[in-house]
Amino acid sequence: MTTLVADTRHVFQREISLILRDPFSMIFSLVQPLVFLGLFGPLLAGSVNPAAINGASPLQWFLPGVIVMICLFGTSTTGSNLLYEIMMGSYERVLAAPLHRSSILIGKALKELAPLVVQAALVTLVAIPFGFKLYPVHVLAGLLLLGVFGVGLGAFSNALAIASRKREWMFWAVQQTLLFPLLILSGMMLPLETGPQWIQALSKFNPLTYIVDAERALFSGTFDSPAIGWAVLAAVLTCAAGLWVGVKQVARSTT
Amino acid sequence: MIDAGVIHTEKLTRNFVSKKETIEAVKGVDIDVASGELVAFLGPNGAGKSTTLRMLTTLLPPTSGTAWVAGANITTEPALVRSRIGYIGQGDGAGHSFRVMDELVMQGRFYGMNSADSLGRARELTKSLDLTSLEKRKVSTLSGGQRRRLDIALGLMHSPGLIFLDEPSTGMDPHNRANLWEHIERLREQRETTIVLTTHYLEEADAYAERVLVIDHGQIIANDTAANLKATLAGDRIAITVDGASAAAASAVVAGRGRELTTTNGSREVTIAGRFDQGTRTLPWLLRELDHAGVDVRAADVRVPTLDDVFLSLTGRSLREEAESEVAA
């Protein structure tokens, strides 16, 4: 266990150097959610019936969705970096090192999640003057939940990268095909309550739905929501399944 | 551990299944490498050299058979094997988006070195591999030769006692190749490092390896020093070009001494070539005899054998031609 933690830390350190050494990528990654919030937020405020979101500020409802979305985009694309490393050869060198196999997956996913914390903090701070109410402890809990989910999603993304290492186009085809249904069916952008029955039914099978619901509950300052329990379960299951599939793929990745 | 050798394999086998067809890449090889040896796996592309190396470095599990590497079993203790060996693969070991020094230091950390030791060792290696001025550069901006030197540095970070190199000098210019070998030789002198490498460069295996394992179609078909292989399997090669009219008389003289004779007809001349014992002594004798027989000799050539001749005599194919057709394709 201690080696798993140390190995994960080292893989993370290596990965994060990419961001630390290149501040521009960090600046852009910070600007993106702000642009999204600034452009999509006002549209949403005009089109959503306040009753559907319990009369709160649209930001209170929308902001957690944006943060989940950043996490979704960041971790689901992490495999593309791995794919590049597989093609160039450095992945093999990392595999030849005595690193815990899951540490490679966790370390890479954490690298995608680290900027998320900074992004979330910034977006939240910017939203405060526009009527967003901050509950720091709840938000932190929400980020932790998202972290567990993100590690799982990152592991799935890396597993997909390894599976498609002999035809790279497949990675993006599968990633894009899965990303948008997951995103739309989670109610991340638009409330599902006003959608048709079948959409609502489908959304129940999407683990992301529970995460989004829980994040909304947490961002509005309550731990007292059944959604949170389900979300913890969804996040832990996603994380466990992702790592299981991922480690299996890592073991097969050199054949 | 089964014996004191650094590497010991027992019927190491690897099959690949492609489109329901089973390809036997490595067919039950038994290899022993003692501490401090420099052994080269020589063979054409697709012979099973890299597959063998990847099994020994735990990157690829064997289909059957097993091996002990640096005192640990590759199947049951892969992590232990990995911690004790160095591996320099065919691709770029350093990530293209990373910086040279960052990659080196993190590599040391991956092998359990602390930050200070890792940094110190990285400085030492960039100095000895002529990478000092590149420490802050992004790997993608390095030239091919610089990247290869960085690969070597990465493989040496944790000072392993056993190093595997897969085609280490492929793509290097002659100058860099000489530098690489200088470094490998120094490693052996200073640290008595055991080195196992694959190559399809005959000259390299010939010049540097203490022992050559010739691999073809997944099997080891010869295992000896380069000198012994050449002496026992090849023999010196003599080629004599004569006037077309005296070809028959020349063949009669040559046939008495040579083996594996071939005749090539030119427009007006005929070249007879073959293997002879003690070529440099046989040639003057042959020329005298041919002269006696009234043969008009136009040209004569004696060549000491290379490992390619060894490969040719073992398989009937030339390693050089295969390498060249590979490049052409």
Model confidence over B216-259: pLDDT tens digits?
Answer: 999 998 888 888 888 777 778 888 999 888 888 888 888 888 87
* Shortest CA distance from A8: residue in chain B: B110
Model confidence band, residue B8 (pLDDT cutoffs 50, 70, 90): very high
The per-residue pLDDT for A1 is 59
Q: Do A97 and B98 touch (CB under 8 A)?
A: no
Mean confidence (pLDDT) of chain B: 86
The per-residue pLDDT for A233 is 94
Geometric angle at alpha carbon A90, from A8 and B103, rounded to 5°: 65
Question: What are the b/e assignments for B219-252, b being 16+ CB within 10 Å?
Answer: ebbbbbebeebbeebbbbbbebbbeeebbeebbe
Asked if residue A255 has pLDDT above 70, the reply is no
Please say whether the beta carbons of B243 and B253 come within 8 A. Answer: no
Asked if residue B29 has pLDDT above 60, the reply is yes
Geometric angle at alpha carbon A180, from A176 and A182, rounded to 5°: 115
Interface check for B267 against chain A (CB to CB < 8 A): the answer is no
Tell me whether the CATH fold assigned to B7-225 matches the one assigned to B235-304.
no
Asked if residue B328 has pLDDT above 60, the reply is no
* Closest-CA distance of chain B to residue A201, Å: 41
Instruction: State the ipTM, two decimals.
Output: 0.83
The per-residue pLDDT for B3 is 43
Every domain of chain B and the residues it spans: 7-225, 235-304
With beta carbons under 8 A apart, name residues in chain B contacting A7: 110
With beta carbons under 8 A apart, name residues in chain B contacting A18: 97-98
The per-residue pLDDT for B5 is 58
Mean pLDDT of B88-116: 93
* Shortest CA distance from B58: residue in chain A: A96
Distance between CA A175 and CA A171 in Å, rounded? 6
Interface check for A17 against chain B (CB to CB < 8 A): the answer is yes
| pLDDT tens digits along A80-119 | 999 999 988 899 999 999 998 889 988 988 888 888 888 8
Asked if residue B175 has pLDDT above 60, the reply is yes
Please say whether the beta carbons of A233 and A219 come within 8 A. Answer: no
Mean pLDDT of B182-189: 84
Interface check for B79 against chain A (CB to CB < 8 A): the answer is yes
Mean pLDDT of A51-62: 72
Q: Which of B16, B94, B109 sits opposite A90 (nearest CB)?
A: B94
Asked if residue B329 has pLDDT above 50, the reply is no
Model confidence band, residue B86 (pLDDT cutoffs 50, 70, 90): very high
Name the superfamily (CATH) of residues B235-304. Answer: ACT domain (3.30.70.260)
Instruction: Give the domain range for residue A179.
Output: 2-252
Least confident among A35-49, B17-31, B260-274, B312-326: B312-326
The per-residue pLDDT for A50 is 64
Query: DSSP labels for B153-209?
Result: HHHHTT--SEEEEESTTTT--HHHHHHHHHHHHHHHHHH--EEEEEE--HHHHHHH-
Distance between CA B313 and CA A202 in Å, rounded? 69
* Closest-CA distance of chain A to residue B273, Å: 45
CB atoms within 10 A of CB A101: 19
Q: Which of A7, A14, A92 sits opposite B89 (nearest CB)?
A: A92
| pLDDT tens digits along B110-131 | 999 999 999 999 999 999 888 9
* Closest-CA distance of chain A to residue B234, Å: 36
Asked if residue A13 has pLDDT above 60, the reply is yes
As a whole-number percent, the residues of chain A with pLDDT over 90 amount to 38
Asked if residue B42 has pLDDT above 70, the reply is yes
With beta carbons under 8 A apart, name residues in chain A contacting B111: 97-98
Give the helix/strand (H/E) hosting B238. Answer: strand B236-243
Q: Which of A10, A85, A92 sits opposite B59 (nearest CB)?
A: A92
The per-residue pLDDT for A54 is 63
Name the maximum alpha-carbon separation found in chain A. Answer: 57
**Residue with the larger pLDDT of the pair B201 and A155:** A155
* Closest-CA distance of chain B to residue A7, Å: 7
Interface check for B144 against chain A (CB to CB < 8 A): the answer is no
- Structurally, how many domains does chain A consist of? 1
Q: Do B54 and A93 touch (CB under 8 A)?
A: no
* Closest-CA distance of chain A to residue B180, Å: 19
| pLDDT tens digits along B259-300 | 778 888 888 889 998 888 888 888 999 999 999 988 889 999
Which CATH code is given to the segment(s) B7-225? 3.40.50.300
Interface check for A135 against chain B (CB to CB < 8 A): the answer is no
